Structure 1
């Protein structure tokens, strides 16, 4: 049997899937939530031990639902939320909670480091991208300035998925795709950029704390004996390189050729597409990350999608069916109401210190239905803003592959098709990042053990399938109506930029 395990350590929780490559099917899945340390100043942190605890819980659920003997599992692939900072001391102990991708407390440090790099142009010359608030780099400077005692004890610097790989295998390593989002990695040479870390500490200690770099098809190592025993695994199970959640989501949606765009409607939003070469850079808001398929994955990320929608839903005490029904009942453009749903600041557009806004309210249109649609439209317009940037960078968007919790809403699926003016399909297996981890684990395993070359494309063809009967085409009249509402949104964002 060719059984593989995929893990996705996200912001809200950890998902685990077990797949049977021979039969091309999902055998089992599990999920366990994480807590979040959150403060009004933008702090967003988690305890790494919670990731391990959640993995163990989700793994046991997946194993139980699969009816698979754990000893049949051949390899594990881990996907993790990007940009998080996990610091270990000389005894390999976690020093403090991990600061997450959505932490905006480090916005001043990012601005300071960008100035030290020589502005956007200097950053592009040294890294091939412009670090945004939320990247790992600014978290290190924040730690030095606010917690110098903790900073002085740093001996190892890891990303969330690197840390889980270390717990599983005992080896500290990083993969090019996830490393792209640190702010101290050159996406063109695919090497660490020590001169950037020296802007924080000139001793070279931070560079020495970085893990070794490996390619996407390489294993980190084997599962440690004590962990294998705890999980009931055989003693030769390998841990693949893993990667960032967006990189694994690309694999899990078959986004490994040009022309396809993956769009995630999660707590946050992400939009990314495969490119054979580093994309041209008309905007610093496009992150031209490396992919986990030996190419590039130009990406934009927004911070307020289903999280903002759930906030409005909770305000009216609506369940999900009622919320969707209310949004469906309102007209396109929400009867003149615009919501800029920047409840936690925003990354694209780059407004880390912004707050949310409701515009265009009147006695005539102030109704729950309009507000429900307005938050969905505002979140979707932010992603359209990003898609326009990707298109300006030369990315083609012939099809949108929609994932995330918001993809379960028929209203939202049609909205995406109409706002993006692009065909939309949904994968049959919605846990794209966890599935991508399992596919990469198979790629890594079979690249070592198969007598002939195994392509990633062939593995995706076996395991990634779509509901083509439910494919959604944009409706021309709706496309035109949304374009009017979207241009109103763009004008309002531009005005916010001028005030910032």
Structure 2
């Protein structure tokens, strides 16, 4: 048995993979709290992730009805970019600032200037750090909380921290590390000279964890944690990775032509590449994958959270919300929503707020507003897909994951707006499944009988034909007009976007 863990923004998921039966034996979930302020602050206490893991693990174990000592390895997926700072005793210094924290936008702009702008950043890192990357959080900490900054002895990401709790070992993996803003994605090495722009003494460089390849283990589960979880001896802790990197593995996105689209708290689009992208756009993040390749990616910050805000405003459950949205026509009778309630990363508008445009006495109704938030968030993803396509990424199909993927109405909307066939994996918890598959892969290398990751994906990643959606030609044309209006209004309100 193999454990896959996905520590996301809203909660932690745990799955138990049974390789003999070729599927999941049990699943569990536990929610996280979120510290959120109007300034753009978004933080969580790392101990909440550990507590959620414990609850989700017990739930999955109960559902699986297995002996916990049968678990042989654990793979952890985690939300990207979060800053977990530890002191010299290995204790957490302060709450972790998350990927969706935008109060560090001024620090990101300052660091981008110090790097020499977009061109200088590309030359040094192979990408352009966006607000939300780990780098700007460090400058924020130095200027806003200098006492805490001075205590930093170790710099970790969320999945690194869960690995640390499990194993007692401090390490990082190429895929997740590539989203920090102080990592060169082309050479797969830390970029200490970038940290020197914040702290010239070299202290931050000494706080960097050693780097692992994706198939390398972090270590073994600590004896006290093993006893608490009822595990056997020598349970392996795989390298793990960022949630997008693990989601790629969990959707079989480890070769060209496949694009994964996640409709979660954030919206992400990513595709595997065997080599570092050469013709790069600033808004496309060419991260490293956790399958020893690269994973060009775009991320929008407003998706299901924004849709839920509109849904809750009208007091609707999910079924009612989708039915209400379906009552409105494509284009919402001229209503456009720019859904930037949490700022935005793609397009790069960290300080933006949301806008409803085109309202009049005839089109102001619940159906149009419900549909407008789904169209607006999906248009943001289309904006990103256009960037990926312009960078040379082929899109034969979209593999849809995340909470929004469960909506047939939204699935069809995605297919029509993107003009691409949409498929859903049978196991929707793709990042947790990716963690479990990576645990199998990692253990096979540790034992000296390495398995091929593509063969593991071929065996365990299945697609649900009943959820397959083809684009409708008439709807594609209608959405094309609405998307053109979205882009025009976006440019008028935010010149340059």
Is 1:479–2:471 an aligned residue pair?
no
Structure 1 equivalent of residue 354 of structure 2: 356
Is 1:87–2:85 an aligned residue pair?
yes
Structure 1 equivalent of residue 41 of structure 2: 43
Q: Shift of residue 470 of structure 1?
A: 2.6
Q: Shift of residue 428 of structure 1?
A: 0.7
State the Cα deviation string for residues 349-399 of structure 1 (Å, max 9, x = none): 100000000001011111100000000000000000000000011000101
> C-alpha separation between the residues in 1 aligned to 2:479 and 2:264?
22
Task: From the superposition, tell whether residues 464 and 499 of structure 1 become closer, same or farther in structure 2 (CA, over 3 Å).
Answer: closer
State the Cα deviation string for residues 93-150 of structure 1 (Å, max 9, x = none): 1000000000000000000000000000000000000000000000000000000000
Task: From the superposition, tell whether residues 222 and 397 of structure 1 become closer, same or farther in structure 2 (CA, over 3 Å).
Answer: same
Residue 270 of structure 1 aligns to a residue whose secondary structure is: strand
Structure 1 equivalent of residue 236 of structure 2: 238
Structure 2 equivalent of residue 440 of structure 1: 438
TM-score normalised by the chain length of structure 2 = 0.99
Q: Shift of residue 280 of structure 1?
A: 3.1
Task: Give 1:98-247 correspondences, 5 Å limit.
Answer: 98-247=96-245
Q: Shift of residue 282 of structure 1?
A: 4.1
Q: Shift of residue 490 of structure 1?
A: 1.0
Say which of 451, 456, 472 aligns to 1:459.
456
What is the number of residues matched between the two proteins?
497
Q: Shift of residue 166 of structure 1?
A: 0.6
Unaligned runs of 5+ in 1: none
Is 1:373–2:371 an aligned residue pair?
yes
Residue 96 of structure 1 aligns to a residue whose secondary structure is: coil
Residue 76 of structure 2 aligns to a residue whose secondary structure is: strand
Is 1:492–2:489 an aligned residue pair?
yes
TM-score normalised by the chain length of structure 1 = 0.98
Residue 498 of structure 1 aligns to a residue whose secondary structure is: coil
Q: Is the 8 A contact 1:282 1:392 kept in 2?
A: no
Q: Shift of residue 449 of structure 1?
A: 1.9
Moved over 4 A (4+): none
Task: Give 1:56-67 correspondences, 5 Å limit.
Answer: 56-67=54-65
State the Cα deviation string for residues 32-67 of structure 1 (Å, max 9, x = none): 011111100000000000000000000000000001
Say which of 379, 387, 390 aligns to 1:389.
387
Is 1:412–2:419 an aligned residue pair?
no
Residue 269 of structure 2 aligns to a residue whose secondary structure is: strand
> C-alpha separation between the residues in 2 aligned to 1:381 and 1:170?
43
Q: Shift of residue 497 of structure 1?
A: 2.6
State the Cα deviation string for residues 274-310 of structure 1 (Å, max 9, x = none): 0111123442000000000110000000011111110
> C-alpha separation between the residues in 2 aligned to 1:281 and 1:94?
39
Q: Is the 8 A contact 1:348 1:386 kept in 2?
A: yes
Residue 467 of structure 1 aligns to a residue whose secondary structure is: strand
Q: Is the 8 A contact 1:21 1:462 kept in 2?
A: no
Alignment root-mean-square deviation, CA? 0.9
Q: Shift of residue 496 of structure 1?
A: 2.7
Unaligned runs of 5+ in 2: none
